[in-house]
């Protein structure tokens, strides 16, 4: 496994703990949304205050979640926290897992498979055909647990387009929100 794929695998594995948020939200949604927003405040403080960045253990964690060395003030973790908080906020019927599954599974598979096997890039976006195909197929498989095959196909297509049009890191904000909104729309 090449080093780019290893780095991406490690970075995407940090999404796994996100499953706890919809579980907790079933019991007390305002608390979970509050926790996510506090995470945004702490991460923002970390980015803005050099003295906080010098704390050894925080620097190690930040190095793991940082998008790349070229983006020293990566906003992806902030987008992710806000995106999940918004998805849980608009969740109408306790289906918050869907948006988390899209982030953890579909987005991660797209990145990993795209990095490893993607040779041809889609024009005008920094994504590969193979990665986008992996996103679409995995999203369709997950959507089938919530919707009829026809609706699952439509939801998968819409979310694949959202993922394609979202620049690196911004998909952490757009995907959970759109996933939850589109699921709510198609379930009604």
- CA dist 53 and 70 (Å) reads 17
Residue in the structure block whose two tokens are 């960045």: 53
As a whole number, the mean pLDDT across the chain is 84
Q: What whole-number distance in Å separates Cα of residue 185 and Cα of residue 173?
A: 19
Amino acid 113: pLDDT: 93
- With contact defined as beta carbons under 8 Å apart, do 105 and 16 qualify? no
Structure tokens at 65: 């979640």
Q: Average pLDDT, stretch 88-99?
A: 85
Domain ranges of the chain: 3-187
pLDDT in tens, 103-126: 889 998 998 999 899 889 988 888
Give the best-scoring range by mean pLDDT among 7-16, 54-63, 68-77, 100-109.
100-109
pLDDT at 161: 96
pLDDT of residue 71: 53
Most confident of 12-16, 25-29, 46-50, 112-116: 112-116
- What does the pLDDT look like over 25-41, one tens digit per residue? 888 888 888 998 888 88
Lowest mean pLDDT among 109-123, 132-146, 147-161: 109-123
pLDDT at 133: 97
CA distance 31 to 157: 33
pTM comes to 0.81
pLDDT (0 to 100) of residue 68: 47
In sequence order, which residues have a C-beta less than 8 Å from that of residue 54 and are 6 or more positions away? none
């Amino acid at each position: 496994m090449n080093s780019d794929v290893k780095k991406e695998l490690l970075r995407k594995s940090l999404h796994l703990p996100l499953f706890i948020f919809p579980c907790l939200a079933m019991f007390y949604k305002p608390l979970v949304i509050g926790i996510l927003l506090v995470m945004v405040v702490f991460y923002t403080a970390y980015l803005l205050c050099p003295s906080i960045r010098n704390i050894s253990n925080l620097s190690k964690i930040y190095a793991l979640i940082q998008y790349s060395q070229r983006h020293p003030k990566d906003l992806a973790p902030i987008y992710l926290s806000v995106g999940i908080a918004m998805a849980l906020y608009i969740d109408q019927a306790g289906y918050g897992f869907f948006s988390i599954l899209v982030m953890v599974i579909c987005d991660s598979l797209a990145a990993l498979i795209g990095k490893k096997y993607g040779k041809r890039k889609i024009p005008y976006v920094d994504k590969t055909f193979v990665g986008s195909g992996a996103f679409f197929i995995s999203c369709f498989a997950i959507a089938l647990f919530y919707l009829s095959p026809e609706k699952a196909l439509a939801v998968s297509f819409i979310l694949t387009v959202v993922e394609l049009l979202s620049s690196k890191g911004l998909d952490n904000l757009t995907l959970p929100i759109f996933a939850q909104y589109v699921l709510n729309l198609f379930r009604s």
